[in-house]
Amino acid sequence: MFTEFNLHERLLKGLEALEYQKPTEVQKAAIPPAMAGDDLYVIAQTGSGKTAAFVLPILNRLLQEETQPQAPRALILSPTRELARQIQSDIQNLARFTFLKAELVIGGEDFKVQAAKLRKNPDIIVATPGRALEHLGAGVNLDLSLIQTLVIDEADRMLDMGFSEDVIKIASACPEARQTLLFSATKGSAGLQRVAENALRDPRWLELDSVRDDTPAIKQQVIASDDNAHKEAQLKWLLTNESPGKAIVFTNTRVMADRLNGVLRANEALRVYVLHGEKDQKDRKLAIERFKQGASGVLVATDVAARGLDISELDLVINFDMPRSGDDYLHRVGRTGRAGAEGVAISLVAPHEWNLMTSIERYLRRQFERRVIKDLEGSYKGPKKVKASGKAVGSKNKNDKKDPKAKKARAKKLAARKKPSVPKGAVVASSDGLAPPKRRS
């Protein structure tokens, strides 16, 4: 019960209004130490209730204070605008019986309007790192000198998007004597450790449901595809025959997201929305709202655009392109099967993606169900021979080694790999905000 936490009665009232009856695992584990002022390093994923796990201790602390100083007292950093919006909305809901205010500092919105809102002295700031730094650079807009709690949410994704230096800079602009709460869906890489070392002080490590945890409520299937045209036919079939409700289709690029949006819109029975980083902020907001409100619909999205969105009641997740890592896979499929309902996640796997798919299977230590759509069986049915690892035999042509032309090409490729493709200090994210296609360690 939430009453165990000794939370302010206005917060208990807010929880009651939201009909949260009992705390989730991450809330049980994180709220008491966060209320005691400890720094935390929490491994928990979207959907676990992690937002309330950091918002409630912040609100509780602010409610204990009698005076309201002339600067914000809590800063929450989010990798994407959509997640930032979601956090702000969760704060408003939890704080509905208080006078506490949270303001957004995110890209894609008018800088001056934001600066004016900041002058009204909100208690909490929810920000994306880039825009927060712009306001800090402007000098007068964002005063972090009274920050008591800094939250770094979805820290692993933040770093994948190239924000690690920005996060460190922002953390060092906050007072040293603050509390820092870091949330990540995975244990993360060396980069995350570096941020943790810079931003956290003697943190408590709480590992809850790392995304490698099994996802038994989700049926996970793969369907072999010949090529993109074959995938499009399979996708249309699945959306018409499989999903009476809501579905998300993930692509690796915004170009493909736009293409599928066009292809699927040709079917009048489907309500199709598209979400990617190149879309105007207003369009993105509208697409999310409409998709959420409707009883059915198809959202075509890239990973980053869909990151952090709390879209529940999804019946189906389709990977049109195989995600680039096991963690990305889990972030995608974790959107279905929420709240005890069984969901289905289907990956369409072209020949060049088969090995990636099996490496994701190994990472998750599970085998996906192989499935065939009878009416749409293609010529590719998976590799004829597989190694013990599950990878296709002969994926590398041994004869290449003898061929001088192939040898030269290999040497060129290797040399190119050694060269850094991004200038030192540059933000490593493509124009639609996608992480570069590299596997995480």
Q: How far apart are CA 51 and CA 74, in angstroms?
A: 14
Does 80 interact with ligand AMP (rule: CB under 6 A)?
no
Judge whether 272 and 265 are in contact, CB under 8 Å: yes
For ligand AMP, the binding residue among 52, 144, 206, 301 (CB under 6 A) is 52
Q: Least separation, in Å, of the C-beta of 16 and ligand AMP?
A: 11
Closer to ligand AMP by CB, 153 or 328: give it.
Answer: 153
Q: Judged by CB under 6 A, how many residues of this single chain contact ligand AMP? A: 12
Give the binding range for ligand AMP (CB under 6 A) out of 46-54, 63-71, 105-113, 234-242.
46-54
Amino acid letter at 65? Answer: E
Member of 7, 24, 42, 125 binding ligand AMP (CB under 6 A): 24
Q: Using CB under 6 A, pick the residue from 5, 7, 43, 49 that binds ligand AMP.
A: 49
Given 8, 50, 61, 117, the residue binding ligand AMP (CB under 6 A): 50
Exactly one of 23, 72, 129, 203 binds ligand AMP (CB under 6 A); that residue is: 23
In this chain, which of 31, 42, 43, 46 binds ligand AMP, going by CB under 6 A?
A: 46
Shortest CB 210 distance to ligand AMP, Å: 14
List C-alpha distances in Å: 94 to 2, 37, 54, 364.
13, 20, 11, 35
Ramachandran region, residue 47 (left: φ > 0; alpha: ψ -120 to 50; beta: rest): left
Site string for ligand AMP, 416-435 (x = CB under 6 A): --------------------
Nearer to ligand AMP, 19 or 202 (CB): 19
> Is residue 149 at the binding interface for ligand AMP, with CB under 6 A as the rule?
no
Nearer to ligand AMP, 212 or 265 (CB): 212
Q: Which of 18, 87, 21 is nearest to 58 (CA)?
A: 87
By CB under 6 A, name the one of 48, 148, 225, 243 that touches ligand AMP.
48
CB 174 within 8 A of CB 150: yes
Shortest distance, CB of residue 3 to ligand AMP, whole angstroms? 13
Taking the complex as a whole, the smallest distance from the CB of residue 57 to ligand AMP amounts, in Å, to: 14
Single-letter residue type at 34: A
Shortest CB 183 distance to ligand AMP, Å: 9
In the region spanning residues 288 to 327, those forming contacts with ligand AMP, defined by CB under 6 A, are 310
CA distances from 257 to 223, 241, 248, 321, 346 (A): 20, 21, 11, 10, 17
Q: Which residue has the tokens 């600066």?
A: 115
∠ CA 167-170-174 to the nearest 5 degrees? 135
Residue 86 is encoded by which pair of tokens?
């979601």
Shortest Cβ 401–ligand AMP spacing (Å)? 50
Q: How far is the CB of 314 from ligand AMP (least distance, A)?
A: 13
Spacing of C-alpha 201 from chain mean position: 25
Q: What are the residue ranges of helices labelled H in 123-217?
A: 129-137, 155-160, 164-173, 190-199
Provide, rounded to whole angstroms, the least separation between the CB of residue 55 and ligand AMP: 8
Question: What distances in angstroms separate CA 187 from CA 139, 191, 271, 282, 285, one per listed residue?
Answer: 35, 11, 37, 34, 31
For residue 259 the two structure tokens come to: 């293409």
Residues that bind ligand AMP (CB under 6 A): 20, 23-24, 27, 46-52, 310
